Amino acid sequence: MNAVETNGLGKRYGNSWALRECTLAIPAGHVAALVGPNGAGKTTLLNLVVGLAAPSAGIVTVLDGQTAGSAAALDGIAFVAQDAPLYKNLTASEMLHLTRNLNRHFDEGYAKARLRDLGIPLDRKAGRLSGGQQSQLALSLALARRPRLLVLDEPMAMLDPLARHDFMATVMAAIADDGLSVVLSSHVLTELERVADYLVLISHGSVQVAGVVDDLLARHRVLTGPAIEADTYAERLNLVHAQRGEAQAHMLVRIDARTGPVAPGWETHPVSLEELTLAYLREPDAAWLPGPGRAPRLEPTEVAN
């Protein structure tokens, strides 16, 4: 079963495409990290997934084929936006009451127990809670809907390191207890590396790479060797990103039939999720730093599905 599936999905605002030709399938049961630079189309994609926007092209379905935005889909999805939308003048208890009345399914007892365990007073106005407490309140409201898919759009952007850790600990506990799927958009790569097991990378409004993290890492390597040989060596590699100093070059490559054995004088190293993500985010033409000799022309890499 796929938690999210799109085919040729696109969203246009006026004459500008925020997202186009987006085709992917995120299997259920994963914590999928959605990564990309500002303006890449991440929030647009999430808004389409949760039914806050309608596609200009293509289709998007959730939870094994349900149309995004339909009543059946909405019953199974919970969404927490970056600004943790809360009514600041309402108490936590009043927010629970309001959310219960706005949803067909809401486990108020579960939400109250979570807030009590977190030490968040039910009689305190949301606007007087700390940033971390507000995020936890928004997350508690979302989880109390007992969703099958939890969508998080930059939920940790304004949190300090301790609050980010506590927030993600709550998410991971909910995954362990309820088996829900998660799509998480974030710029905090260190947090994603700790929790995500599926990666979707968007740049310039389209998907650049998508797949299970362990599979993607296994299909990429970092090669380190003499800078003077890098130009020639790179011509027979599927090069994602390269960086060169006066003496040594570092090349992140995708392993394929062209890779072959490591050339003499070169070493191979495993790649981290952060290295892989940053490599695909960089502009190909700017990836090779100035150095001796002529820089190779970097062709676009194949999308990993």
One-letter identity of residue 206: S
> What is the total count of domains within the chain?
2
Asked if residue 162 and residue 230 are part of one domain, the reply reads no
Asked if residue 115 and residue 227 are part of one domain, the reply reads no
Q: Quick check: 62 and 149 in contact, CB under 8 A?
A: yes
pLDDT in tens, the chain (305 residues): 899 999 999 999 999 999 999 999 999 999 999 998 888 899 999 999 999 999 999 999 999 999 999 999 999 999 998 777 799 999 999 999 999 999 989 999 999 999 999 999 999 999 999 988 999 999 999 999 999 999 999 887 777 888 888 888 888 888 888 889 999 998 878 778 888 999 999 988 888 889 999 999 999 999 999 999 988 898 888 888 888 888 999 999 998 877 888 999 999 999 999 899 988 888 654 444 433 333 333 333 344 44
Asked if residue 223 and residue 140 are part of one domain, the reply reads no
Q: What is the CATH number of the domain that holds 185?
A: 3.40.50.300
Kindly compute the dihedral angle of the four CA atoms of residues 139, 144, 146, 147, in this order, to the nearest 10 degrees: -30
Q: In sequence order, what are the residues at sequence separation of 6 or more whose Cβ sits closer than 8 angstroms to the Cβ of residue 177?
A: none
Is 192 within a domain? yes
Is 291 within a domain? no
Q: How far apart are CA 18 and CA 10, in angstroms?
A: 8
Pairing type for strands 181-185 and 31-35 reads parallel
Per the listing, tokens 């299970």 go with 212
Q: Quick check: 298 and 287 in contact, CB under 8 A?
A: yes
Asked if residue 171 and residue 253 are part of one domain, the reply reads no
Q: In sequence order, what are the residues at sequence separation of 6 or more whose Cβ sits closer than 8 angstroms to the Cβ of residue 70?
A: 51
Asked if residue 124 and residue 98 are part of one domain, the reply reads yes
Is 293 within a domain? no
Distances from the Cα of 106 to the Cα of 69, 87, 101, 113, 199, angstroms: 18, 18, 8, 13, 30
Asked if residue 195 and residue 93 are part of one domain, the reply reads yes
Q: In sequence order, what are the residues at sequence separation of 6 or more whose Cβ sits closer than 8 angstroms to the Cβ of residue 125?
A: 88, 89, 90, 91
Asked if residue 201 and residue 91 are part of one domain, the reply reads yes
Asked if residue 269 and residue 154 are part of one domain, the reply reads no
Is 304 within a domain? no
- Pick the last residue of a domain from 211, 227, 249: 211
For residue 59, what pLDDT is reported? 96
Asked if residue 86 and residue 11 are part of one domain, the reply reads yes
- Pick the last residue of a domain from 170, 192, 211: 211
What is this structure's pTM? 0.84
For residue 284, what pLDDT is reported? 54
Is 6 within a domain? yes
Is 83 within a domain? yes
Domain region containing 69:
2-211
Is 300 within a domain? no
Q: Quick check: 99 and 91 in contact, CB under 8 A?
A: no
Asked if residue 189 and residue 40 are part of one domain, the reply reads yes
Is 72 within a domain? yes
Pairing type for strands 2-13 and 66-67 reads unpaired
- Pick the last residue of a domain from 152, 184, 211: 211
Interior CA angle at 44 toward 41 and 49, to 5°? Answer: 125
For residue 283, what pLDDT is reported? 62
For residue 99, what pLDDT is reported? 95
Asked if residue 250 and residue 182 are part of one domain, the reply reads no
Asked if residue 54 and residue 181 are part of one domain, the reply reads yes
For residue 167, what pLDDT is reported? 85
